[in-house]
Structure formats: C-alpha cells, structure tokens
Amino acid sequence: MSSIYFTEEHDFFRKSFQDFLQKEVVPHIETWEKTGMIDRFIWEKMGEMGYFGINCPEAYGGLDLDLFYTVIFLEEMQKINSGGFAAAMWAHAYLAMTHLNKEGNHEQKEKYLSPSISGEKIGCLCITEPFGGSDVSGMRTTAVKKGEHYIINGSKTFITNGVCSDYLIIAAKTNPGLGNKGISIFVIDRDTPGVSATKLDKLGWRASDTGEIAFTDVEIRASNLMGEENKGFGYIMQHFALERLVMAVNAHARSEWALEYTIQYMKDRTAFGQSISKFQALRHKVAQLTAEVEVSKSFNYQTAQRLDKGEYVVKEATMAKLITTKVADDVAYECLQLLGGYGYMEDYPMARLFRDSRLGPIGGGTSEILREIIAKMVIDGKDYKPAT
C-alpha cells in the first residue's frame, strides 16, 4: 500500500471490503468453483454494500468515488484467490456497467444502471464472436433497423456472465459496409425472444460462467441503441483503456498474494535440514519476481492516477496489461514450482491461481494485439483519440 495514492479513507474502505469478502464470499468460493455459477444472493449483498457503484454517479445510486477505490476493489478480490469470482464481479461492474454509465441515456441508466448498482440486475458485455475476437471490426452480428425496431442476428462467445446475466450490452453492425465505422452498441433484456445461451467449460476462472450466445431474429426497440449509431467501435476502444488497467491491477494483486503465500511456505518447509527459503537459487527467484511485481504495480498506480484525472492513457494501459499479466504468469508458474508437489495439488492455492492467471494475456486484448497497438504508437506515430 502506498500513501502517495491511498488516503486513510481508502485504507478504511480496504479493511471493510476485506472483512466483507472473508465473511460473505470466502465460505462459498469452493462451491462456486465447483458449480461454475455464483449464487444470486451475493450479487445483492455486494450491491447493498455499494461495491458495484464505486465509480458511478450518485444520481443513480452510485458512490462516485475516485479510481483508487476501484483499484482496492480489484486488488482485494484477487487476494481471495478465485479469478472466476473476481471476473464475474468486475465484468459486471467495469465492462457492462461502463458502457451503461458512459453511453446510456437517462432512461437506460434508470432501467439498467441503477439496478446494476444495487445488484438486482447482472450485466455482461458481448463483443467477441466465434469467428474472431481480436479483429473487432470483423464482427458478423448485425442489427437491421426496421421502423422503430432493430432486428439482431448473430452470435457471441466467451462472454463472462453470458448465462447468468439479466441484460446484455452487445456490439452489432448497423452498417456492415462501413467496417469498424458501422458498429453500434445496444442493451438487450435476457428474456427477449430469440436470445439463447450455452455455458462453456474452461481451464480456469471456474467460478464464473462463460457463455456462447445466439441472437436469432431478436427484435428490440430502437430506444435500446446506446449512444450514437455507428459509433460503437470508438466506444469499445475507449473503454479498453479502463478494461486493460483493470486486468493489469488484477495481475499485480494476484502476484503479490502468490508471492506472500509462497514466501511463508518456503520459510515453513524444510529440505536437507534447513528451510528452503535459505537456498540461494530459490531466494533469487523470489527476489527477481518481487522486483518485477513491484515495478509493474507502481506503473499501474501511476496509470490509474492519470486515468482518474481524465487523461486518455491508451498506450500506458496497454503496456500495463502486457507487462503485468506476463509477470503474473511467471509468478504463478514459479510459485507453483516453489511449492513442489503441493503446488500441483488442489488443496493448495497455486493450482487454481496458475489456471486463472493464464487468461490474463488473452482476455481484453491478447498480448500479441497489445504489442501491435504499442508498435503502431511508438513506431508509426499513431495517435489514438478518445471517441467522446
């Protein structure tokens, strides 16, 4: 924790959120990891406590707090070691709700944002499609305007909360001939005829549900359009800065937690008559990783501070996610190794952390795509501008 970024109020919030997680969430994690579905009651409890409204306007029930409360929210969820639980919560609050908050009009905010803050409604963000995720402009889902309605056809995949959510924020092509200039964003109620979802099985993030969603002649009112027609690509790209920073913060937090656990394990474990924490080969490994995590964390905090001030930190957030998720994968790999055979056992935390960590360099923009974005900025001099 650093006093440069955190006040006493932040510390108080952290402590009360830690207590909440220990009391209300941790006792259920093993069950949710097994069932792949998080019980509804916890969404409502999180909502009652205000945790979903940290960065939302007070007018809709939010707390309108600075970004370091979000940082704490993310960090502490990583430290209970269920990437799936954390993902379900932050995908709701920082993927779906970010679009509602930024592009939603007053009616949409009243109908969807307020109950999302209170935990009565769960949201998901549907961008990725079965035929490609990295190439957002290549999406095939269409929204054809007919009078006062749009008809949606297509499919989305790998959607966090894709099965359990009450509404879906989806990207679809309103003008397929215009490539990325023909994408719009809509909010759709789950129970709209023609919407169906299938739960996918996956390596990690096992407590969260990940869905494949089909839209077959789904008729929605034109008033379900969010923001301006054909501006969706810009909105998606703009919010990627926050999403990537979220994933970077998650990565440094789980790395810190893994190292803390492992250092204690090393002190307690003996081999050849001494604590394994005395072996130089292992000490240097831990020292190197701790240094990498600390440097990444500082950069993530600095980027969060700039984003909080309203700067468009697309380059920094991209770099933060690229580097910190790689460091986190290295930490997960090495910490598992440092636990020896116990690292491989489900009774010990590294097996789950190792699985969960692997999504870091894939979701929200793969590392390859992030390098491509950075290359365009630093080599070609490309300047990404905010959409609004």
Ligand X SMILES: Cc1cc2nc3c(=O)[nH]c(=O)nc-3n(C[C@H](O)[C@H](O)[C@H](O)COP(=O)(O)OP(=O)(O)OC[C@H]3O[C@@H](n4cnc5c(N)ncnc54)[C@H](O)[C@@H]3O)c2cc1C
Q: Is position 364 an interface residue for ligand X (rule: CB under 6 A)?
A: yes
Instruction: Select the span of 18-26, 48-56, 97-105, 156-164 touching ligand X (CB under 6 A).
Output: 156-164
Provide the 8-state DSSP code for 132. B
Q: Is position 128 an interface residue for ligand X (rule: CB under 6 A)?
A: yes
Binder of ligand X out of 74, 77, 126, 323 (CB under 6 A): 126
- Which of 39, 7, 5 is CA-nearest to residue 25? 39
Q: Is position 293 an interface residue for ligand X (rule: CB under 6 A)?
A: no
Q: Is position 179 an interface residue for ligand X (rule: CB under 6 A)?
A: no
Task: For the CB of residue 259, give the shortest distance to ligand X in the complex, in Å.
Answer: 24
- Determine whether 294 is an active site residue: no
**Per-residue interface string for the shown chain with ligand X, residues 203-232, x marking contact by CB under 6 A:** --x----x----------------------
Q: Are 365 and 325 in contact (CB under 8 A)?
A: no
Binder of ligand X out of 91, 293, 304, 336 (CB under 6 A): 91
Q: Is position 138 an interface residue for ligand X (rule: CB under 6 A)?
A: no
- Which of 161, 181, 162 is CA-nearest to residue 173? 181
The dihedral over CA atoms of 234, 238, 243, 249, expressed in degrees to the nearest 10, equals: 160
Q: Is position 167 an interface residue for ligand X (rule: CB under 6 A)?
A: no
- Nearer to ligand X by Cβ, of 126 and 163: the residue is 126
Provide the 8-state DSSP code for 105. -
Q: Is position 369 an interface residue for ligand X (rule: CB under 6 A)?
A: yes
- Nearer to ligand X by Cβ, of 61 and 204: the residue is 204
Q: Is position 363 an interface residue for ligand X (rule: CB under 6 A)?
A: yes
Separation CA 219–CA 145 (nearest Å): 10
- Nearer to ligand X by Cβ, of 210 and 300: the residue is 210
Q: Is position 31 an interface residue for ligand X (rule: CB under 6 A)?
A: no
Q: Given the DSSP bridges, would you call strands 183-189 and 225-226 parallel, antiparallel or unpaired?
A: antiparallel
Separation CA 362–CA 360 (nearest Å): 6
Binder of ligand X out of 11, 22, 132, 179 (CB under 6 A): 132
Phi-psi bin for 125: left (phi > 0), alpha (psi -120 to 50), beta?
Answer: beta
Separation CA 325–CA 255 (nearest Å): 9
| Partners of 145 in the β-ladder | 150
Of the candidates 129, 212, 243, 256, the residue annotated as catalytic is 243
**Residue keyed to tokens 């979903």:** 52
Q: Is position 368 an interface residue for ligand X (rule: CB under 6 A)?
A: yes
Instruction: Select the span of 131-139, 272-280, 299-307, 343-351 touching ligand X (CB under 6 A).
Output: 131-139
Cα distances from 222 to residues 127, 143, 152, 153, 201, in angstroms, run 20, 10, 11, 15, 35
**Residue keyed to tokens 């990404």:** 384
Task: For the CB of residue 250, give the shortest distance to ligand X in the complex, in Å.
Answer: 13
Q: Are 188 and 224 in contact (CB under 8 A)?
A: yes
Separation CA 126–CA 96 (nearest Å): 9
- Nearer to ligand X by Cβ, of 128 and 174: the residue is 128
Q: Is position 359 an interface residue for ligand X (rule: CB under 6 A)?
A: yes
Q: Is position 122 an interface residue for ligand X (rule: CB under 6 A)?
A: no
- Nearer to ligand X by Cβ, of 132 and 386: the residue is 132
Angle at which helix 314-338 crosses helix 280-308, to 10 degrees, equals: 160
Write out the catalytic residue numbers.
243
Q: Which residues sit at the interface with ligand X, rule CB under 6 A? A: 91, 95, 124-128, 132-134, 158-160, 202, 205, 210, 359, 362-366, 368-369, 372
